Structure 1
């Protein structure tokens, strides 16, 4: 490859097919690679065919237009579909050098700064309905068949047998209040740029004050603070794989969110409820994981079960911490 030639989807896919790319670790549905191109390192995300669509193409492109020039955002270098029968979306970006945080609590201030930047960059942006949505959308609209409130058949029921019955009970116990909390935080006016998986592990540090946000494959637009809700759970826990929240980290997160984005402390419990919707099992996601690797479905369900065993105590911790912050501020 020559240094003058810009990277292309077809070119990087050829290198991947030839075994000249490094497969990066991940348990998601998409595949990530590091590719050398003309003396520079590239990050290549190959989306699974089942999740690739024209709407996803437009969504990533529109987010790229909104965020270009932001110091923590790696811009799209090329974007397109590859494959004959079931083409998958391929996204090429600069590779972000550095290391993710082993302890996401160290990056709480950085995460909230990015949330503020995403909100600022969304001002004046318009997006058609097909580009607006987040992990909460299926639970607030047509996706209720995943776990209906009434007697209709639930898509996810066949997965929640045996050791996973606790997940079904958690969904039945908490889903109504999660939906109500998410609805209260939903606004018909204005949009937020939505990263989709914003937490410390996706902030790559390459020196003091230098951060790059990676993993933009779920990017789009949202009418509620979905990134903040999910980041509350993923950035404030005491360790990876464990969902016991750290009270000091929760206080720092809510305090920064209040000062940078004006989120009232009274909305903290609903913010946690909104974020918790991401930890509900969806039939399509689990089956696609198992198709990629037979062990991933069981790993994912066990991971979710760990979250729900601690949910009520963690939710109370968030509410108490927010009340203390509000009392101190007043």
Structure 2
């Protein structure tokens, strides 16, 4: 049983539940949904939270993706990006990925109203938002807008029998530039470990090379955008914060963890950009 906390709009849930069987049929290893005994696609509990029943998939989530599995993980992500759902009216996330770029003042107000108990943490995001907005024109016009997973990290991957066996948690699926997933994967899958966001060139190169083997080559603008897109992906999501608050869960950790990632990435940014340029020169 999975509680849908990020975005439980009925049309959004119906889209996601229809997406899972199609992905599985296309060879992307995701859990298939099952109906309740009365035929309902999902049920609501006394707290008005929505729950769905999904396949149990064996395996272990990853705090750190081993070096030898980085290329396989990248291949899985490329297969996801190549998929197109049959739904003629797909329902994306609320808010969309462009919200911080299109109306940052409104997004700041929404986040501040939800996390007013954490002014110091919110203040810490300001320089990273400025960095994102400096690259807004580049980010908005990136090519290859596809269906993206949206929340790529080791906890949403299962390994079984020494292989990457499943991709979990599709609550954040939306149409975005594919570099959103690639940038998040560079941050979350090539880091030293849980809570330690130091990246290594050999791991970054292994992931990007694995992605390139199945997907169309990354453009120079996409490579240039990776660091800024990483920062954008870590800015607070009002929908997620609202869901956490509604569930009675503290918001401090949900704000502190991405901020730690942003600070670490900012320190490494010149070095990472050198790695990316070096990798692109070999393509």
**Alignment partner for residue 269 of structure 1, among 207, 224, 231?**
224
Residues 133 and 221 in structure 1, CA contact (< 8 A), matched pair in contact too = no
**Alignment partner for residue 190 of structure 2, among 213, 231, 236?**
236
The answer for the alignment partner of 2:121 in structure 1 is 164
Residues 146 and 175 in structure 2, CA contact (< 8 A), matched pair in contact too = yes
Residues 155 and 283 in structure 1, CA contact (< 8 A), matched pair in contact too = yes
Give distance in 1, aligned partners of 2:120 and 2:92.
37
Most deviating of 218-227 and 299-308: 218-227
Say whether residues 1:101 and 2:62 are aligned partners. yes
**Alignment partner for residue 213 of structure 2, among 234, 245, 259?**
259
Structure 2 counterpart SS, 1:92? strand
Residues 133 and 222 in structure 1, CA contact (< 8 A), matched pair in contact too = no
The answer for the alignment partner of 1:185 in structure 2 is 142
Residues 179 and 222 in structure 2, CA contact (< 8 A), matched pair in contact too = no
| 5+ long unaligned stretches in structure 1 | 1-43, 148-153
Change over 3 Å in CA distance of 1:93–1:83 after alignment to 2: closer
Give distance in 2, aligned partners of 1:98 and 1:194.
23
Residues 72 and 210 in structure 2, CA contact (< 8 A), matched pair in contact too = no
The answer for the alignment partner of 2:20 in structure 1 is 64
The answer for the alignment partner of 2:42 in structure 1 is 81
Residues 77 and 93 in structure 1, CA contact (< 8 A), matched pair in contact too = yes
The answer for the alignment partner of 1:38 in structure 2 is none
Change over 3 Å in CA distance of 1:287–1:217 after alignment to 2: closer
**Alignment partner for residue 314 of structure 1, among 258, 261, 268?**
268
Task: Report the aligned-residue RMSD.
Answer: 3.0
Give distance in 1, aligned partners of 2:280 and 2:177.
25
Give distance in 1, aligned partners of 2:95 and 2:79.
18
**Alignment partner for residue 130 of structure 1, among 61, 67, 91?**
91
Spell out, residue by residue over 1:285-329, the C-alpha distance to the aligned partner (whole angstroms, 9 max, x if none): 3344244345x3111222122122223233323311121123334
Give distance in 2, aligned partners of 1:135 and 1:112.
24
Q: TM-score, normalised by structure 1?
A: 0.71
The answer for the alignment partner of 2:236 in structure 1 is 281
The answer for the alignment partner of 1:18 in structure 2 is none
Cα offset, 1:246, TM superposition: 1.9
Spell out, residue by residue over 1:44-86, the C-alpha distance to the aligned partner (whole angstroms, 9 max, x if none): 11223x7311221232134224313226222222362323776
The answer for the alignment partner of 1:92 in structure 2 is 53
The higher-RCO structure (CA 8 Å, 6+ apart) is 2
Cα offset, 1:138, TM superposition: 2.2
Computing the radius of gyration from Cα coordinates, the structure with the larger value is 1
Say whether residues 1:199 and 2:153 are aligned partners. yes
Residues 232 and 272 in structure 1, CA contact (< 8 A), matched pair in contact too = no
Say whether residues 1:146 and 2:103 are aligned partners. no
Give distance in 2, aligned partners of 1:169 and 1:132.
24
Residues 95 and 239 in structure 2, CA contact (< 8 A), matched pair in contact too = no
Q: TM-score, normalised by structure 2?
A: 0.81
Spell out, residue by residue over 1:226-258, the C-alpha distance to the aligned partner (whole angstroms, 9 max, x if none): 322222211111111122222221121222233
Structure 1 counterpart SS, 2:150? coil
Give distance in 2, aligned partners of 1:322 and 1:232.
11
